[in-house]
């Protein structure tokens, strides 16, 4: 795979499947020394619970060392350029795991380094989340090709990554969002290129009920993301009640359809507690699988997958 993992455009379908297979093995046998003598920095400019813990614990379980750095307390918040900060950090570690607001800044960092850079979330993309989500869907349905995912809500970084991930794996995806809140146009274009190869379908609609028809997976995310708190009142008026995912909307999906959310959830906004806590919800399986899939990703991105069986 490529040196960096900034979006799902950076990884081939075959490599995604290899990561899924390795993640399944790691889930059964979580501890090894495959990352012994390897060091990772988590350079985070945004709050995190699941992403931070799943990387830190995963690295420890594989014998590596992780170091969390609060981006707001670095010299970047005084006068240092992202390139200078990252160039210095690169001299200390084997891989940088970065969570920040601007994807452009992430690209500036990665293009200047020889060591791998992993996107732990940017305003454009959340590839680790969606790689793990596809693994979770695969656990439930065994095969991804031919399934349909309906995404309801804001066309944000999670939605952008779902478009790439679903189209790459041969899944149909329909996004239901209000006008003005559509996914990134460039991401849609890239996803449509993959959909032509895998013979999958991509639709962007306004009506949530149309989106969930024949859906095997119904997915939503917060109506406002970190950094958009000032837009909260405006967004609530746009999204509620039409784009709330609840049991009534789920009943319009396929029998046996599952509900997904990357968390944290704003209960009674984008999703009701009744649905989130129901047996149709796999949100905590999603959270758990971040650990296993990201461990597999770290092994693959460092080219240690051939060493893993020996050290496990």
Q: What is the rounded CA–CA span in Å between residue 145 and residue 168?
A: 9
Residue keyed to tokens 């849609």: 188
- Residue 202 has a pLDDT of 99
Among 4, 50, 128, 129, the active-site one is 129
- Residue 1 has a pLDDT of 64
Strands (DSSP E) found in 94-197: 95-99, 117-121, 148-152, 172-176
Among 50, 103, 126, 235, the active-site one is 126
Among 154, 262, 292, 294, the active-site one is 262
- What pTM was estimated for this model as a whole? 0.97
Whether CATH 3.40.50.1370 fits 127-287? yes
- What number of helices (H) and strands (E) belong to the chain? 13, 9
Report the topology of domain 8-126+290-311.
Rossmann fold (3.40.50)
Q: What is the rounded CA–CA span in Å between residue 173 and residue 133?
A: 14
One fold for 8-126+290-311 and 127-287: yes
Q: Where are the domains of the chain?
A: 8-126+290-311, 127-287
221 is catalytic: yes
pLDDT digits (tens, 9 = 90+) for 188-211: 999 999 999 999 999 999 999 999
Residue keyed to tokens 């990665």: 110
108 is catalytic: no
99 is catalytic: yes
pLDDT digits (tens, 9 = 90+) for 104-143: 999 999 998 999 999 999 999 999 999 999 999 999 999 9
Among 4, 10, 94, 99, the active-site one is 99
Among 103, 159, 221, 261, the active-site one is 221
Sheet of 65-70, strands arranged across: 65-70, 39-44, 95-99, 117-121
129 is catalytic: yes
pLDDT digits (tens, 9 = 90+) for 139-161: 999 999 999 999 999 999 999 99
List per-residue pLDDT tens for the chain, 312 residues long: 679 999 999 999 999 999 999 999 999 999 999 999 999 999 999 999 999 999 999 999 999 999 999 999 999 888 899 999 999 999 999 999 999 999 999 999 999 899 999 999 999 999 999 999 999 999 999 999 999 999 999 999 999 999 999 999 999 999 999 999 999 999 999 999 999 999 999 999 999 999 999 999 999 999 998 778 889 999 999 999 999 999 999 999 999 999 999 999 999 999 999 999 999 999 999 999 999 999 999 999 999 998 877 666
Among 103, 235, 261, 290, the active-site one is 290
52 is catalytic: no
């Amino acid at each position: 795979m490529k040196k960096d993992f900034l979006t799902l455009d950076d990884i081939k379908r075959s490599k995604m499947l290899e990561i899924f297979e390795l993640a399944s093995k790691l889930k059964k046998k979580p501890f090894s020394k495959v990352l012994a003598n390897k060091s990772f920095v988590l350079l985070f400019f945004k709050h995190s619970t699941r992403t931070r813990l799943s990387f830190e614990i995963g690295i420890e379980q594989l014998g590596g060392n992780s170091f969390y750095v609060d981006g707001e307390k670095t010299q970047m918040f005084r006068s240092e350029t992202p390139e200078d900060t990252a160039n210095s950090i690169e001299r200390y570690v084997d891989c940088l795991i970065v969570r920040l607001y601007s994807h452009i800044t992430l690209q500036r960092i990665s293009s200047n380094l020889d060591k791998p850079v992993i996107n732990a979330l940017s305003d454009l993309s959340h590839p680790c989340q969606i790689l793990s989500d596809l693994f979770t869907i695969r656990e439930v349905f065994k095969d991804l090709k031919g399934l349909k995912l309906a995404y309801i809500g804001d066309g944000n970084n999670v939605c952008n990554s779902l478009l790439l991930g679903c189209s790459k794996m041969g899944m149909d995806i329909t996004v239901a969002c209000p006008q003005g809140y559509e996914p990134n146009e460039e991401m849609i274009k890239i996803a449509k290129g993959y959909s032509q190869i895998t013979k999958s379908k991509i639709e962007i609609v306004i009506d949530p009920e149309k989106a969930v028809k024949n859906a095997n997976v119904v997915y939503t995310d917060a109506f406002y993301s970190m950094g958009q708190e000032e837009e909260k009142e405006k967004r609530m008026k746009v999204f509620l009640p039409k784009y709330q995912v609840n049991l009534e909307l789920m009943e319009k999906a396929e029998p046996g359809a599952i509900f997904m959310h990357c968390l944290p959830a704003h209960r009674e906004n984008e999703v009701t507690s009744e649905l989130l806590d129901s047996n149709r919800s796999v949100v905590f399986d999603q959270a758990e699988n971040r650990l296993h899939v990201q461990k597999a990703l770290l092994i693959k991105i460092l080219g240690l997958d051939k060493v893993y069986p020996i050290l496990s």
